[in-house]
Structure 1
Amino acid sequence: MSIIEAIFLVVLQPIFWLGFLLVAGIHFKRVKSERSHYHVAINRDFYEGRHYLKNGILFSVIGSAILIAIGVVFPLYWVLIYEATAFLVILLELVWDVSLFFLLVTCLLPISIQAIRTLAPQLLSTQIDKIVPRDFNSASFMLLCTLFFLFRWLMIRRFSPEFLVPQVRQGKRGRKLVSYTWKEFSVVPLIVLVPGSFSQELVPFWPLITFNGKHYAFLVLPLVLSGFVRIWRSSIRTGAANESLQAFRLFSFCLCGFIVTVFLPQTAAVFFAVLVLLVILRFIQRYAKMKKKGKWYVETYDGVRVIAIQPNTPAAKMNLEPGDIILECNGKTIANENEFYMALKLVPTFCSLKVKTYEGELKLTESAVFTDSPHELGLILFH
């Protein structure tokens, strides 16, 4: 298959562009919400769309090259079922992070069928053979899980605090609380091989290869991918690092599972069951740790809490992060937002801050301010 044909297969996918339109909708909704709650857009950059395209195209090239080079084959009917249900999953991504759940559910069907064939073949009818042929190796699905966690790990490694979306709510004791979410979503069009020459019967110029007397057609499998971080009782850097580590561990486990199942196909069900268990335990362990340790990002009476930082502003140059508490401004101790703005006006073109981080460390930072408006500093505070 030529490079031009490969690009044609990817660009032709309507589901890829549907995902891009939904990402554009997410961006406009976020900016509108920020202007409504904070009277300013925290980050007006359309980074969601830029990252969607970069991740989708880059991961498509990497994943497709791996799948074709290894010669991994997927059942035709399973690919068609996956593509049909992927449209619904993309719509659900607007509300929930369901990409991992969708991947596990869709891989569970063929792996379970192969396991039942090994243990109790009399329980399955011959009609099942159309969905998952008897000679099919379940290692293909372990490789698909491997690519998913590899891409999620690479996606989370690009995390930056400037992409966090703050969510403020009222606490039980009258003070405001803020939590943070970061989510990037993409559709990765993976070019995969399926047995048969049906494609050329429908579209004569569709790419087709022949190996050992068998025909294989190229189809595009839209891998729904998301990176998700939610922070509410841990430092931002720690929260992102933990999510990255978990994704890398799951990638490593799936990679080992794929290598083993290539030679021992009957072990696929065991590795997949352990993978599902690890995912469930990860969610339980994460929330258990959150409730046992750490403190909320809460409105404070000892200084002012920074909710967010606008990119490319003096505040961003001062290496301030969401969750920092400003204790002093231009040499003046402050206890609330009004005192902070009054201290800023003492030196309109310069700002020096004493800050306490989420971990409780003290730091001094300073920067020039180009106008005498406090909002030009680039800080988003509790109001």
Structure 2
Amino acid sequence: MAQAWFIELLKGTGKLFLHPVFYYLVFLAGILGVSRVKRERRNFHIRVEDAYFELRQLFPLGIVIGSVISVVAIAAGTVIPLAAVVLAALFTFLWSITTKVRLLAPAYTLGAAFFALIFAAQQDWPLPFMPDLFTSLNEKIYPSITVLLALLIIGEGIFIFKNGPKGTSPKLIKSKRGLTVGVHEVKRLWMLPVFLLLPGGAIQPPFEWWPVFSFGEQSYSFLLVPFAIGFHQQIQSLLPKEAVQLVGKRVIVLGAITFIVSTAGYWWPITSIGAAALAILGREAITLHQRLHEENLPFYFSKRYNGLIILGIIPESPASKMALQVGEMVTKVNGVRVQNEKQFYEALQRNRAHCKLEVLDVNGEVRFVQRALFEGDHHELGILFVQDEKKRDSAVG
């Protein structure tokens, strides 16, 4: 039995590379990186992270989270029909056409697949190459799908909390009053590979009670499925890390509540519909609440009279090596008080070999940072500020 399981796991892993979503997510992540770099160059004449940053974020954490979800789902004997996998992939492609990355979250892809599966099962749709895909489906499959949906939402929340704050992108926009202000944007795509247990195959249940809620088939197979996790957030009134992690916590809570409701579906199938609806509406509510809440607060990255707010830090630049942080305020440069970008660089030129900055940190405490400047160092220290209106207009033009 152990050998049969090992072989099926290998087969299921290999099928990952046959899944079109796998390659499509790599393509989309590359597009996100290129578009971000173009926008940053348009705003600041320089990019922050390179164009491959989004691609580098696509896999590593997903392998860890996906492994945990796979163990939980398989240990619980959660059986997912192939039809649900096909429909989830279909909605991943469809929602990507809208260019709204956030719609690639599990609540919208697998959630939509859940309701489409209910309709398709009633209509008994024949599909090319898969004429029997929606036949022989019964109500026992729906609780398993919503349990998986809940686990994926929890995984999404962990992604947002752990990886979302990394490499947030500074951005210049116009406020309602027509002033140039700074915001931070996270537009990220992650891949969450999860082993699913499908009915039919070569392996037999290891215990008499597994799967606990079987629906006819007594042999199973594994399939490693790449689920998309899309996330988009624009932060204007809080520090990026604080704002993103707050959303991550709320998504984890939503996933946990959805999980509790979805498990009740094994006894009361109608509850599964409530769990899927809760996932979709709850995820939309989190996004809407964050957006409305921030609109009622002042911009964090705006012009100040007592210094310059750091909007962004170029990686590996002198500013990065000086441990300057986004959200801190530079009040003095080489002993000279500064209020705008021009004054900052004029004061910096007073001593081309060394710079000393007086900084007000995010807790309101004063600290001093200094560093020798060497030939070849970034000519502007690697700090991005909210630009003056004239400079902003020339950058746009």
- TM superposition score normalised by structure 1: 0.81
Whole-Å Cα distance in 2 between the matches of residues 270 and 155 of structure 1? 25
- Counterpart amino acid of 1:136? K
- Counterpart amino acid of 2:73? L
Match of 1:165 among 159, 164, 169: 169
Whole-Å Cα distance in 2 between the matches of residues 379 and 322 of structure 1? 9
Equivalent residue for 1:368? Answer: 371
- Compared CA separation, residues 35 and 286, structure 1 to 2 (3 A): closer
1:311-342 C-alpha deviation (Å, 9 max, x unpaired): 22332244433343322112111122121112
Match of 1:105 among 105, 112, 116: 112
- Counterpart amino acid of 2:251? A
Asked if the contact 2:331/2:358 (under 8 Å) is kept, the reply is: yes
- Compared CA separation, residues 91 and 221, structure 1 to 2 (3 A): farther
The alignment partner of 1:166 has SS state of strand
Equivalent residue for 2:211? Answer: none
What pairs with 1:193-232 in structure 2 (closer than 5 Å)?
193-196=197-200, 208-211=202-205, 214-232=218-236
- Counterpart amino acid of 1:99? L
Query: In the alignment, is residue 186 of structure 1 matched against residue 190 of structure 2?
Result: yes
Equivalent residue for 2:330? Answer: 326
The alignment partner of 1:106 has SS state of helix
Alignment length (residue pairs): 362
User: What is the CA-CA distance between 1:239 and the residue it aligns to?
Assistant: 0.7
Whole-Å Cα distance in 2 between the matches of residues 25 and 239 of structure 1? 25
Match of 1:292 among 272, 296, 317: 296
Equivalent residue for 1:76? Answer: 82
The alignment partner of 2:273 has SS state of helix
What pairs with 1:21-100 in structure 2 (closer than 5 Å)?
21-44=27-50, 46-92=52-98, 94-100=99-105
- Compared CA separation, residues 374 and 146, structure 1 to 2 (3 A): same
Whole-Å Cα distance in 2 between the matches of residues 171 and 127 of structure 1? 50
Query: In the alignment, is residue 279 of structure 1 matched against residue 283 of structure 2?
Result: yes
- Compared CA separation, residues 26 and 329, structure 1 to 2 (3 A): same
Which shows bigger deviation, 81-90 or 42-51? 81-90
Whole-Å Cα distance in 2 between the matches of residues 86 and 130 of structure 1? 19
Equivalent residue for 1:270? Answer: 274
Structure 2 unaligned regions, length at least 5:
127-132, 209-216, 392-397
Whole-Å Cα distance in 2 between the matches of residues 345 and 161 of structure 1? 33
Whole-Å Cα distance in 1 between the matches of residues 27 and 124 of structure 2? 41
Whole-Å Cα distance in 2 between the matches of residues 132 and 369 of structure 1? 72
User: What is the CA-CA distance between 1:263 and the residue it aligns to?
Assistant: 4.2
Asked if the contact 2:150/2:279 (under 8 Å) is kept, the reply is: no
User: What is the CA-CA distance between 1:91 and the residue it aligns to?
Assistant: 5.0
- Compared CA separation, residues 38 and 131, structure 1 to 2 (3 A): farther
The alignment partner of 1:149 has SS state of helix
Equivalent residue for 2:19? Answer: 13
- Compared CA separation, residues 189 and 161, structure 1 to 2 (3 A): closer
- Counterpart amino acid of 1:23? A
Whole-Å Cα distance in 2 between the matches of residues 190 and 159 of structure 1? 19
- Compared CA separation, residues 196 and 272, structure 1 to 2 (3 A): same
Asked if the contact 1:43/1:162 (under 8 Å) is kept, the reply is: no
- Compared CA separation, residues 290 and 25, structure 1 to 2 (3 A): closer
Whole-Å Cα distance in 1 between the matches of residues 191 and 164 of structure 2? 21
Asked if the contact 1:230/1:239 (under 8 Å) is kept, the reply is: no
The alignment partner of 1:181 has SS state of strand
User: What is the CA-CA distance between 1:245 and the residue it aligns to?
Assistant: 1.5
- Compared CA separation, residues 17 and 98, structure 1 to 2 (3 A): same
Whole-Å Cα distance in 2 between the matches of residues 272 and 377 of structure 1? 50
Whole-Å Cα distance in 1 between the matches of residues 62 and 55 of structure 2? 10
Whole-Å Cα distance in 2 between the matches of residues 31 and 39 of structure 1? 10
Structure 1 unaligned regions, length at least 5:
115-123, 198-207
The alignment partner of 1:194 has SS state of strand
Asked if the contact 2:195/2:223 (under 8 Å) is kept, the reply is: yes
Equivalent residue for 1:349? Answer: 353
